[in-house]
Structure 1
């Protein structure tokens, strides 16, 4: 455990050195947030001030919480592991005395902690000043929201890891990554709340792990879902952590066997 804590701390320090990139990220997230907020508020205004349970203030809250989670969850995915697999550097990673997925997850937690503090919260505060946001007064909602965010980061990490691990068998996985990113952004609720979907698409979304990455933590943090109602959603997140975690381990083992057969 000490090794993983040190990896997480090192990852936090590493990303804290990129101050200009952080400032640029805050600016970009804020501008993108204003664009998303204007579109959603226009849609709600056209619908008469309320759309599927969202009024203007709730929609603004949804947007700015989503912007706060954008960087730490890394909704656009990562490419580092796939690149290391293609270049063969993963063989060195596998020789280290720590589990490959474990070290990647520890680095993810350190990176996400910094990105939440430095690139997630500032745009949310700016949005709160400009459009306003509504957060629940119940401390239990904040506690469950924090748990949901942690699980969302974990679910997103495991799903992204599986996409990267496909590089063991694919010569080029950029197409797979592009499709995954597009589907994830839609079905997770990042673009719009999934309750705005038609029934058939909503059913598809709920059958995937994607809402657990964005929709669930936002619902828990915003208080739109009461604490007792948030517990089953968090339970779904836990189920996806177990399922995707097991699938990731099996993919890694199969990939290592493939690498050994090829003489790696």
Structure 2
């Protein structure tokens, strides 16, 4: 366990060093949060309440989801494992006296923690100065939200880890990452809240793993999640366990028979 904690700590330290990049990310996320909030304001002006959400809930959702982009890895651009497979350096990683999947989880957890510390809070605070927001005062609600975020992060890592492993067979995982980004961006709720999507489409997207990354934590914080935090945690943990198990199986398959580029 100590080796993984050390890996996570060093990864966190490395990511905290890029403060200018984080500042640029905050500006970008806040700007896009304002754009998305104005779109939702126009929508909610036509109908003041949609599926139990009012305008303040919608604006809160816009900035909250922008705050989660970096820590959750919403853009699905794999992990640092992908480039190491492409250039052959992964051969060194496979010989490390540590569990391969846990090692990369520790490194990515450090990255996510750094992104959360530097990029998550400012967009929400700046958005609250301009738009009506509905941030709860209950510490229990915030604790449930943070737990859902942790579970959502596990789902995100599992998906990105699987994408990275594809490079063992294709030599380049970026095409699959682009496809997954297009699907995940829609199914996570980054374009529109999944709760306002109608009929069968809404039911389908709310049961995909991407929903655990963005929509469910936001709904728990806003107090609008059917079944409450218990359902959101159970849903996210189920998908996380399935995807982590799939990643472990694919890792073992890669150990048995792959061609590593460069040797």
TM > 0.5: yes
2:254 is aligned to 255
Could you list the per-position Cα deviations for residues 175-210 of structure 1 after superposition, in whole angstroms to 9, with x for gaps in the alignment? 211110010010011211112223222232133211
Alpha-carbon spacing, 1:158–1:261, altered in 2? closer, same or farther (3 Å): closer
1:102 is aligned to 102
Q: How does 1:1-264 map to 2 (within 5 A)?
A: 1-46=1-46, 48-79=47-78, 80-225=80-225, 229-259=228-258
**Contact 2:72-2:112 within 8 A present in 1 as well:** yes
Counterparts of 1:103 and 1:223, CA distance in 2 = 35
**Contact 1:135-1:223 within 8 A present in 2 as well:** no
**Contact 1:15-1:114 within 8 A present in 2 as well:** yes
Aligned pairs, number: 262
**Structure 1 unpaired stretches of 5+:** none
Counterparts of 1:49 and 1:153, CA distance in 2 = 32
Could you list the per-position Cα deviations for residues 91-124 of structure 1 after superposition, in whole angstroms to 9, with x for gaps in the alignment? 1111111122111111122111121121111111
**Contact 2:169-2:258 within 8 A present in 1 as well:** no
Counterparts of 1:262 and 1:83, CA distance in 2 = 11
Could you list the per-position Cα deviations for residues 19-75 of structure 1 after superposition, in whole angstroms to 9, with x for gaps in the alignment? 1101100110110100111111111112x3222322110001111111111110010
Q: Secondary structure of 1:169's match?
A: helix
Counterparts of 2:171 and 2:55, CA distance in 1 = 47
**Structure 2 unpaired stretches of 5+:** none
Counterparts of 2:96 and 2:130, CA distance in 1 = 49
Alpha-carbon spacing, 1:261–1:23, altered in 2? closer, same or farther (3 Å): closer
Q: Secondary structure of 1:76's match?
A: coil
RMSD: 1.9
**Contact 1:168-1:258 within 8 A present in 2 as well:** no
Alpha-carbon spacing, 1:25–1:251, altered in 2? closer, same or farther (3 Å): same
**Contact 1:148-1:216 within 8 A present in 2 as well:** yes
